[in-house]
A and B are shown apart, each in its own frame.
Chain A
């Protein structure tokens, strides 16, 4: 096994992550919390982007929408990342070479790049943009890229569950393997 594979197995096989993975209720609760925070976090991001693009919340200035949603994006992001680390750690041995997982992680890195590029140019200058006669192209680019990145992350997250490692026999859910015999 590769170094990455050894590391992934070591993480997934720690007592903590084994307990989480094999727990009855906590695992789906962590997953549901991950998804619920997408709603809180995603709603705030969506409205900010749509406001920049001029599609929603037009009664408010861009800077006001940004200021008012910022704390909720941060809270949502922290919950989402915490839950994501728990989910990822518990099955890291299955995920480390999963292409969808790797694309998702790469897109998350690009979110960081997005922030580095556009925070000083757009978000920190929201008040200037509000005073400008029209929303500059750089702000619209930031909004579109943000929407595309987050929909991509969400979709790749869902697709992780559908990857089968080549040569590995897919594990059918219990309700398929344990079908009652027909009379």
Chain B
């Protein structure tokens, strides 16, 4: 079945608007998911929302983060179907997918645990927030570098 798939029949490759539209959804939703995660990270670093606990920040944003992640991954999958093999052989894309899986696991294990228990910025919370920001931003970079490599 997979071998029979022909990307030239994909609607994304057969009209002017669907591919850019999928990209717009993808970009808006990574802004929502990464942006809400970044707000928790800023709290963990002690750089914003200091009257709120990190746990409260996580609870306030988690629904939006989750919704953003679901839509960004769905739209990303749709974009990928436009030319699966070309993506598969691209190193930026490979990095992006590996980093994405790691970032999601990290977000719902260590990041969540630290955010729920942290009170004042500690070494653990600063390291967690820095790693979180770094890996998510690197995924954004890799998504764009795909087009240049």
- Are the C-beta atoms of B144 and A154 separated by less than 8 Å? no
The A-B contact count (CB < 8 A) is 96
Assuming the contacts A36-B140, A60-B60, A158-B27, asked whether A46 and B32 have C-beta atoms less than 8 A apart, the reply is yes
Taking the closest CB of chain A, its distance from the CB of B73, in whole angstroms, is 16
Any B CB within 8 A of the CB of A117? no
Assuming the contacts A43-B31, A44-B35, A158-B24, asked whether A56 and B144 have C-beta atoms less than 8 A apart, the reply is no
- Are the C-beta atoms of A39 and B38 separated by less than 8 Å? yes
Any B CB within 8 A of the CB of A110? no
- Complex interface: chain A residues within 8 A of B127 (CB): none
Assuming the contacts A35-B27, A42-B31, A59-B56, asked whether A47 and B61 have C-beta atoms less than 8 A apart, the reply is yes
Task: Specify the chain A residue showing the minimal Cβ separation from B26.
Answer: A158
Assuming the contacts A43-B32, A46-B32, A59-B52, asked whether A32 and B27 have C-beta atoms less than 8 A apart, the reply is no
Task: Specify the chain A residue showing the minimal Cβ separation from B144.
Answer: A32
Chain A positions 1-49 with a Cβ under 8 Å from a chain B Cβ: 27-29, 31-32, 35-36, 38-44, 46-47
Any B CB within 8 A of the CB of A82? no
- Are the C-beta atoms of B24 and A38 separated by less than 8 Å? no
A50 and B61 CA atoms in complex are apart in Å by 11
Offer 6 A-B interface pairs, CB within 8 angstroms, sorted by A: A32-B140, A39-B38, A43-B37, A46-B35, A154-B31, A175-B86
Closest 3 CB pairs of A and B: A43-B35, A42-B31, A39-B34
User: Told that A64-B51, A159-B20 touch, could you supply 17 new A-B pairs with CB distance under 8 A?
Assistant: A28-B145, A29-B141, A32-B145, A36-B140, A39-B30, A39-B140, A40-B38, A41-B35, A42-B32, A43-B36, A43-B38, A47-B36, A47-B39, A56-B63, A69-B39, A151-B28, A161-B20
